[in-house]
Amino acid sequence: MPLGMAMVVILFVIQAFKIPSASMEKTLLVGDFLLGLKLPYGAEIPFTHWKTPAFLDPKPGDILIFKYPGDPDVPENNPARYRFVANLFLFGVLYWDSQPKPGQSHLVVYQRKDFIKRCVAQSGQTLRVEGTDVFVDEKQMALPRHGQYESDRGFDPIRDKLSFRLPKPGETLRLDTLSLRMAMWMRSLALQENPGHKVELVLDLLKDSAVANDYVLPYLNGDPQNRHHLNLFVLMDIPAVRAVAGQVEFLHAENVPFTAIREAAKTGFVRSTDLMYPEGQSGLTRTETSEYLLPNYFDLIEQNLQGQGEAMGASLKLRASLSIDGKVSPSYTLRQKCYFMMGDNRDNSSDGRYWGMLSREFVKAKAAIIYFSFENGDGRFQLTNPVTWPRIPFRIRYDRVGKLIE
């Protein structure tokens, strides 16, 4: 009976969360353990896409725990390869891998990440980011009291330049009137609102108003050392870059077909890679990770196509549509509120500026209280090393235990 009650509390009442990164500093610190309240926003019912009734809606200023919209529903976003086996509740979801690598098991445990950020804007509000300044409905939003900026700030066109209005429930948006980045964000919202359905972004390239999806990009403008550009080529298995004398050069860029970009844009999920220069070698190595990024940098392709069209005396334009279970439509009608999330450490936060808007559907809990806090930035405490255990009392941040989260 006590175990059953504990499971009910864990599944429906509270959400435990450990702060893994510096994105919310110094409101929340790496090593803070906190509890979030699920019931006010509605708790997920296991084995379904339903939730318990909600009593409150999130509002700007709230710190929320939510499902990361940048994760695919299944491993590698490949439902043909990975088949659902069982829900392991707190331990993730069990899948059957039909194509395991040598020495690996067919059974794979996959757990989507939870994020924690502060809500800065909601449906109907206008958000504008100009460098270090954030404006909501043209009123400047001060940095939260315990927030901070990184000292080594550098300009990032994705992070530091943004202006748009968050759509309202019931509002219909035509994707072909939006920038490619905003169209991808709408695809992400549609996916969040339609769990269990296949939701894809469909891109067509129009040359002088006629479909020309067989077009080949002769060159991609921009800084050739921009990692986003490198990812775009490398992830699509196109031999487009190499390292020569420490400098990255584009190769065979004329062999980048629009169809490859069209395919990559369908889901909005792009595998992140680490591109490294092996000592004594001139070629780039490709190291894959399990991370996925929403490719907001695709809007640079849009700018590039426009420039190419002007150079050749033609009009090159992208047209976006949305496909839900194979039914293609140029528009989408939002059903739920959406929110824009940012970290209090604005210069060191993978937040809505990179992956878009958060649907009410993905909100899991409101951060409430810090129940434990442990400082181990130097890594000198190791749970597997008993010799380091005497350090435990000196690593606890006693002044943070029991602290309510603002």
Amino acid in position 37: L
Q: 2-71+112-124+337-404 sits in which CATH class?
A: mainly beta
Q: Distance between alpha carbon 76 and the CA centroid of its chain, in Å?
A: 14
The per-residue pLDDT for range 73-123, each reduced to its tens digit, is 788 777 888 988 887 766 678 899 998 888 888 888 888 788 999 999 999
| Beta-bridge partner residues of 18 | 33
Q: Are 163 and 128 in contact (CB under 8 A)?
A: yes
Instruction: Retrieve residue 287's tokens.
Output: 């190291």
In 3D, which of 210, 178, 176 has the Cα closest to residue 309? 210
pLDDT digits (tens, 9 = 90+) for 30-59: 999 998 888 788 777 766 677 777 788 999
Q: In this model, does residue 353 exceed pLDDT 60?
A: yes
Whole-number pLDDT of residue 271: 54
Which of 252-256, 257-261, 356-360 shows the lowest per-residue confidence on average (mean pLDDT)?
252-256
The three-point CA angle 319-322-323 to 5° equals 130
Per-residue pLDDT at 296? 57
- pLDDT reported for residue 389: 83
In 3-state terms, what secondary structure has residue 209? coil
What pLDDT is recorded for position 11?
58
Strand segments, DSSP code E, in 301-388 are 316-324, 327-329, 331-333, 338-342, 358-359, 363-373
Q: What is d(CA 67, CA 364) in angstroms, rounded to the nearest whole number?
A: 7
pLDDT for 349 equals 86
Domain locations along the chain:
2-71+112-124+337-404, 199-331
264 vs 316, more confident:
316
- Please provide the average confidence, as pLDDT, over all residues in the chain: 79
- Please, are residues 93 and 107 in contact by the beta-carbon 8 Å criterion? no
CA pair distance 46, 311, nearest whole angstrom: 56
* pLDDT band at residue 388 using 50, 70 and 90 as cut-offs: confident
pLDDT (0 to 100) of residue 379: 81
DSSP for residue 319: E
**In this predicted structure, what is the pLDDT of residue 127?**
97
Residue 81: CB atoms within 10 Å: 16
Q: Which two tokens stand for residue 105?
A: 């098991």
* Rounded mean pLDDT, 118-147: 92
pLDDT greater at residue 319 or residue 159: 319
What would the mean pLDDT of 336-341 be, rounded to a whole number? 96
CA–CA separation, 384 vs 106, rounded Å?
29
Cα–Cα distance measured from residue 365 to residue 67, given in angstroms and rounded to the nearest whole number: 10
Average pLDDT over residues 300-323: 81
Residue range 308-315: mean pLDDT, rounded: 79
What percent of the chain has a predicted confidence (pLDDT) above 70?
A: 76
> What pLDDT is attached to residue 317?
87
198-243 pLDDT, tens digit per residue, is 899 999 999 898 999 998 776 544 444 444 444 455 444 444 444 4
> What average pLDDT score do residues 289-308 get?
62
Query: What pLDDT is stored for residue 243 in this prediction?
Result: 42
Chain centroid to Cα 237, Å, comes to 22
pLDDT in tens, 145-184: 888 876 666 777 777 888 999 999 999 999 999 988 899 8
**Among residues of the chain, what percentage have pLDDT more than 90?**
30
Measure the CA–CA gap between 42 and 59, rounded to whole angstroms: 15
- Segment 235-263 shows an average pLDDT of 54
Would you state the pLDDT for residue 262? 84
- Helices 298-312, 180-193: crossing angle, 10 deg rounding: 140
Confidence band (pLDDT; 50, 70, 90) for 383? confident
Give the residue among 364, 367, 369, 358 at the shortest CA–CA distance from 43: 364
Reported confidence tier of residue 254, pLDDT bands at 50, 70, 90: very low
Pair 322, 329: CB distance under 8 Å:
yes
